Amino acid sequence: MLDPASLSDDQRWQIALAKDRRYDGAFVTGVHSTGIYCRPSCPARAPHRKNVRFYANGDAAEAAGLRACKRCSPNTQSAEEACVLAAIAAIREQGSQSLDQLSELTGYSPTHFQRLFKRTVGLSPAAFARALREERVKDALADGASVTDALYQAGYSAPSRFYNDTKDKLGMQASDWRDGGAGRQVHWRVIATSLGDMLVAASDKGVCCLSFNEGEEHLRARFPKADIVEANDDFAALFDQVVAAVEEPLSDASAIPLDVKGTAFQQRCWQALRKIPAGETRSYGEQAAMLGNPKASRAVGSANGANNIAVLIPCHRVIPASGGVGGYAYGPEIKAELLRREGAGEKELF
């Protein structure tokens, strides 16, 4: 969650589009075409941006001639909302807090507050704290820190704690951000499908690439330091599973192991993509809100574009809020066909 005191109007607009409940009480959205002001999470239809102004609170909005929305009651804040915001501030400033500590801070029982926090934020307090630490690792690496220094800067007491936190996340290893696949062997094959020629590649840990109308040269560009070899029969069963998942995208592909190279933010974006059910779509703003960072819709789009594993990490399920299927690395026709096969094509995508 961003610091509410330092939000820009563009950030407030993205928060309002995502209807992020965590910012209720941090500001209000004034809609001058209707003469009302709302909470950021107001369920009403989004207004046109040109009609919107942002105010610090209800008093400021009313001084500008607006009245409170009867649907979301923006001039009141529940005790529950205030407690969740206080807990988020404590976690951001002091790191992970035990449920007993948060219980003492908020006055709720540990069990009740755990449920309240997860309902509001979408993560447990512990998971929220871990996500913050992983983001800080990513930021430190982006600034040029070594892996070990980045882990300590982010608040991990030892590298092993980071590996324990992330060991089940799409095969992620901290060194994968920096080594280009050095020391890894990647097995590949081009397979004919109803969507065109499909490049599939896998390491000993799982599928690391799935793309359309690409060949070995693209694989070498993505993994410049890996040992790239043609797949033998040992990978036949795995590749058959991949083909089945592409030809029948409503089938459960969760059992197919993945080995994905990416930053902490990219990993979180790809995890969010895998939580979108087949047959449903999300906008980029909605995906950003799933990550707890509504302003990050552009960054989400970039992370989705860096996804090396089409279909299994379903970035095709994210479409523009304005309508249409939007961009896709392998062409809008393939994206539209995947959505059609999943049932989303029955909606008005064009």
Residues with catalytic function: 38, 315
Residue type, 293: N
Q: How far apart are CA 87 and CA 308, in angstroms?
A: 36
Q: How far apart are CA 219 and CA 209, in angstroms?
A: 8
Q: How far apart are CA 2 and CA 348, in angstroms?
A: 34
Q: What residue has token string 């990550």? A: 291
- The radius of gyration of the chain from alpha carbons, rounded to an integer in Å, stands at 22
Distances (CA, A) of 132 to 84, 92, 172, 331: 16, 8, 17, 34
Q: How far apart are CA 199 and CA 212, in angstroms?
A: 6
Q: How far apart are CA 341 and CA 279, in angstroms?
A: 8
Question: In this structure, are residues 141 and 118 in contact, taking their beta carbons and an 8 Å threshold?
Answer: no
Residue type, 230: E
Distances (CA, A) of 227 to 202, 203, 216: 12, 10, 12
SS3 state at 179: coil
Assign residue 326 a region: left if phi > 0, alpha if psi is -120 to 50, beta otherwise? Answer: left
User: Phi/psi of residue 192, each to 5°?
Assistant: -75, 130
Work out whether strand 227-230 and strand 185-193 pair parallel, antiparallel, or are unpaired.
parallel
Burial pattern 62-76, b for ≥16 Cβ within 10 A else e, equals beeebebbeebebbe
SS3 state at 241: helix
Residue type, 104: E
> What torsion, rounded to 10 degrees, do the Cα atoms 321, 322, 327, 332 define?
110
